[in-house]
């Protein structure tokens, strides 16, 4: 159920229907947390999706803690050099740049680039 909700929310988000997407992303997150635990990679992906939604609407204060939590879960569950960690780092860096914090973005971008360069 959570995957279907997440996918439908993603469709709405890509169509710019943010108001329709948000409750679906939120519900999917709640289901994942209850079913899989708060530190599962699917929870991290769901947090990331909701953060991207907020980010795209300029709701940076709402997006930032979700990005941070997603990154922490991914590092713990998947390892510090996993491509999903690079995604989280890139998203955080983008938010920092949009909020005039380029100095904070730079180390995140460098770390993401290093992860992407690792041969898998």
The span from the CA of 3 to the CA of 14, in Å, is 16
10 Å CB burial of residue 27 (0-12, 13-18, 19+) is middle
For 23-44, how does the pLDDT look when each residue is reduced to its tens digit (9 = 90+)? Answer: 999 999 999 999 999 999 999 9
Domain count, the chain: 1
Determine the pLDDT at residue 119: 65
Instruction: State the CATH number of the domain containing residue 46.
Output: 1.25.40.10
Sign of CA dihedral 53, 55, 61, 64: positive
**Confidence band, pLDDT 50/70/90 cuts, at residue 60:** very high
What domain range is 44 assigned to? 2-117
For the cut 80, the answer to whether the pLDDT of residue 120 exceeds it is no
The string of pLDDT tens digits covering residues 97-111 is 999 999 999 999 999
DSSP class of residue 118 equals S
């Amino acid at each position: 159920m959570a995957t279907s909700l997440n996918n439908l929310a993603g469709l709405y988000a890509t169509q710019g229907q943010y108001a329709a997407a948000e409750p679906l992303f939120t519900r999917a997150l709640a289901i994942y947390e209850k079913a899989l635990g708060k530190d599962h990679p699917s929870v991290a992906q769901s947090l990331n999706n909701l953060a991207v939604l907020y980010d795209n609407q300029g709701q940076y204060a709402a997006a930032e803690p979700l990005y941070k939590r997603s990154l922490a879960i991914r590092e713990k569950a998947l390892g510090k050099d996993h491509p999903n960690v690079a995604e989280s780092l890139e998203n955080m860096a983008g938010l920092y740049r949009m909020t005039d914090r380029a100095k904070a973005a730079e180390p995140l971008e460098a770390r993401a680039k290093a992860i992407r360069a690792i041969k898998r």
